[in-house]
Structure 1
Amino acid sequence: MLELRNNRTIHDEIEEALRKRFQDFVRECYEEIGRSLKRIQKSIGSRADRFIVIADGLEKIDAMNESQRESIENSLEALFVAYGDFLRLPSCHVIYTFPVWLRFRTAQLGSVFAREPLTLPMVKIHDREGHDFAAGLDKMYKLVACRLEKPEQIFGQDPVAAVRPILTATGGYPRDVLRILRNLLQNEEQFPVTSARIERAIKNVRQTYHDIILRTDAALLDEIARTHRIPTADRDRLRQFGQLFARYLILAYRNGDEWFDLHPMVRGAPALMDQFGDAAP
C-alpha cells in the first residue's frame, strides 16, 4: 500500500492493468452475447430478428449501512453514467432497472442512454387536493377483478364498495393493493371477508410503513405533503427525497406535469405526530 501511494510508476502500472482487464472483460461479455444471439437465431429461425435484454434487479442495490452509502452511490453513478457506454449491447435493445434515487442525483442518464429514464407513476386515484379521481379508482378495481375470477365470493355482493378502502389506503400503488389482497386470501378462513377484516389487513401493512419512518424524515415529508414538489433547497434534501421516494414513502403521479404526494399509509405515523402533533400531514 505504501508503494502504491508513493511510487507513481507502480500506481500507473496497476491502473493500466486494471484498465486492460476491464476492457478484456467487456470484450468477453460482448462475444458471449453474440454467441447467445446466434444460438437463439439457429433455434427459432428468421423470427429472431430483434432482441431485447432485460437487466432486472439493479434497482435493489443499496448500502447495508449509512457509512457505506456515499461509496455505493458513487459506484452506481459511475456505472450508469461514466461507464454507460459499456452498458450498450451490440445487436440488442437493453432495459436496465436502476436505483430510483439516481434520477435525483444526476441529470446525465438521458444523454448517456439516448433515452430519458422512466419511473412509473402510481395510478392517480386522487388529485393534489385529495379529491377522489373516479377513473383511477375504476382502473384499480379492474386490476383486482382481473386477479379474482369472482370478486363477490371474496368481498360480498358489492365488491366495488368493499375494495374501495384498500384502494384509497394504498394511494394507487398496485403492489400494495395486491399485497393486501394476498394477505386476505392467505390469512382469512371465512369468505366473504368483513369490513373489519379488511381494515385489519390494511392496518397491518400501514404499521410496516410507520415502523420505517424516522423523526428526521418528518420535515421533508411535511414539505412534500404541502407543496407536491421535489425539494430544491439543497443537495442533501434532494438526496433524502430520493431515498424516501425509493422506499415508496413518497409516490409520484402524472397528470400533465409530474407531482408527488405522501403514501396515504405514511400519514399519521408516530414520527410525524411527535413532530407536528395534530397538524401532522
Structure 2
Amino acid sequence: MKTEDLAFLRSFFRVVTDQPIEFKASDTNRYVPLYDTPELAPHDPVKLLARPIQFALGQSVQLFSGFRGSGKSTELHRLRKYLSEQGDYKVVLCDIEDYINLSQSVDIIDFLLAVAGAFGDALQKEGFLPDDSSKEGYWERFTYFLKRTDLKVPEMSTVGIKVALKSDPSFRETLQKRMAGHLGALVEDVRTYVTGCVKKVKERHGPDTEVVLLLDSMEHIRGTSTNATAVQDSVVNLFTSHSDKLHFDHLHVVYTIPPYLKVLYPNLGTLYSPGGVQVLPALKVRDSERNIFQPGLDLLERLISARGDWQRLLGPERETLDRLSLLSGGHLRDFLRLFSEIIRRADRLPVPETTVDAAIAQVRTEFLPIADADAKWLHLIATTHGVALPDIKLLHDLARYLDTHLALYYRNGNEWYDVHPLVRDVVKAQAEEATRRQTQSH
C-alpha cells in the first residue's frame, strides 16, 4: 500500500474513534448540526433543554437521558456552548463518574456529596468564583459538617474523602450508616453551600447571571451480574423518592439518567418541573414500518464526510455507505465503529466488498451470542416497537438490551423501539427456532 494511502487510513481511523465533541477549536470540522434539518428541528435537545433554563424564574431542574454512544455528551457540550454565548449564563459541565463508582448502588448521601463536590470543583476550575473562594470547596466544608454533627468516620484527608467516595466501598457503607439520621442536615448543608457559591458567582459576574450545572454520565450506572437489580433499584429510589432533594435554589440543573428509568416510572417528569424528561433517540434511518428515511441517511453521509473522504475508502457510489448507515440503525457510535473496522482491514483503496463484509461480520459478532429467552423478547420488541416488558422484575434485562444497543430507541412523533439491524435477522431466526423446539417438546 502506498505511503499516502496509509497516512490517509491512519488519519481517518483516528477521527472515527468515538469521543464527545467538546466544541474546542480542534472540533470545529467534526460536528454536524443534525438538528438544523426541518425533519429533526422540532426534536433539537439543546433547544428543549435550554428553554426551561431561559424561561424559568431563577432555577430549574431537568432530566436528560441518552443511550451510550448516541451523542448525549456532545449535546451537553453544545448546550453549554449555546448558553455561554448568551452572555448571562455561567455553565459548568461535570462528569459524575469522576466522583462515584457507577458499578455500585448509589445512595442519596453519596450523590449529594458528589454533586456538591463536583459543582465546587468545576466552578473553581472554570474561574467563575473569586480567588479566595478556592480556600473552601465542599470537601473541606464536609469535614467541618462531620465535626459539627459529632459524626465519627475514618480519619482521612480532604482529598481522601473525595477519593474514598468513589473507590472505597467500605468507607461509603460506613458513611451511609452513620449519616442515616442526619440526612436532613446534610441536605440543608449542601443547599447552603450551593446557594453560597451561586451568590459569589453573581457578585463577581453581575446580579443577572444565571448559573447552570450539567451533570453527565449518570446513565452509565449499571451493576454486575450479581448486583444489577440492587443498583437499578437504587437509581429509581434516588430520582423518585428523593427527587425533592435534587432541586436547588437559584441554580439550573440538568441530570443525566439511565433510559430505563423513564420506562419504569411513568410520568417521571412531573417530579422535575418545569423541565421534565428529555430522551435523545437514535438517528432515524428507517421509520417504524421499515421504510428508508432518506434525511437520516443524508445526515450520516454529512457526518462521515466531516471526518474523512469516505469515497476514497469505499468508492464513489453511495450504495455501500448507505448500507453501513442502515446497518448502524442510526446509532452514531456503531456507525463510526463500522468504519473503524473497515479501516483496520483495508489493504487497498477503495476497499473491496469482502473487506466491508468482514467488518460488518466482526461488529455483528460483538452482539452475540444471544440467549433464547432474550431472542424471544427482542423479537417481540422488533414486531411491536414497544419495550414489551413482561414483568418489572426483568427490568435489568431491558436495561442490558438498551445499554448494549441490542434495542434502540427512536422518535418521530411517537416514541418507538426496534432491535439493532445488525442482529435483527439473527434474533428473528433464533426466536422462531426456540419457539419451534419448545412446541415440539410439548
TM-score (norm 2): 0.52
- Inter-partner Cα distance in structure 2 for 1:27 and 1:126: 49
> 1:41/1:130 Cα in 2 relative to 1: closer, same or farther (>3 Å)?
same
Q: Which of the numbers 154, 164, 167 marks the counterpart of 2:325?
A: 167
Letter paired with 2:243:
G
2:228, 2:396 within 8 Å by CA — same for their partners in 1?
no
In terms of fraction of residues, the more helix-rich structure is: 1
Aligned to 1:225: 382
Secondary structure at 2:281's aligned position in 1? coil
Q: Per-residue CA shift, 1:152-208, capped at 9, x if unaligned?
A: 3333333x3331121011111112112222344455454433332222222211111
- Inter-partner Cα distance in structure 1 for 2:435 and 2:325: 25
Letter paired with 1:177:
F
Q: Which of the numbers 291, 296, 307 marks the counterpart of 1:131?
A: 291
Cα RMSD of the aligned pairs, angstroms, is: 3.1
Q: Which of the numbers 16, 30, 44 marks the counterpart of 2:191?
A: 30
What aligned pairs does 1:93-112 form with structure 2 within 5 A after superposition?
93-112=252-271
What aligned pairs does 1:72-221 form with structure 2 within 5 A after superposition?
72-114=231-273, 115-148=275-308, 150-158=309-317, 160-185=318-343, 188=346, 190-211=348-369, 213-221=370-378
- Inter-partner Cα distance in structure 2 for 1:238 and 1:181: 33
Q: Per-residue CA shift, 1:208-259, capped at 9, x if unaligned?
A: 1123x22221221121222222326543466644442333211122222222
Aligned to 1:10: none
> 1:162/1:16 Cα in 2 relative to 1: closer, same or farther (>3 Å)?
closer
Letter paired with 1:29:
V
**What percentage of aligned pairs have identical amino acids?**
25
Secondary structure at 1:266's aligned position in 2? helix
> Structure 1: which 5+ residue stretches go unaligned?
1-14
> 1:194/1:21 Cα in 2 relative to 1: closer, same or farther (>3 Å)?
farther
1:100, 1:245 within 8 Å by CA — same for their partners in 2?
yes
Letter paired with 1:205:
V
Letter paired with 1:143:
L
> Structure 2: which 5+ residue stretches go unaligned?
1-175, 437-442
> 1:274/1:229 Cα in 2 relative to 1: closer, same or farther (>3 Å)?
closer
- Inter-partner Cα distance in structure 2 for 1:119 and 1:47: 33
- Inter-partner Cα distance in structure 2 for 1:65 and 1:16: 25
- Inter-partner Cα distance in structure 2 for 1:71 and 1:279: 32
* Matched residues, number: 260
Q: CA deviation at 1:25?
A: 2.8
TM-score (norm 1): 0.79
Letter paired with 1:120:
L
1:252, 1:261 within 8 Å by CA — same for their partners in 2?
yes
Secondary structure at 1:167's aligned position in 2? helix
Q: CA deviation at 1:105?
A: 1.3
1:231, 1:238 within 8 Å by CA — same for their partners in 2?
no
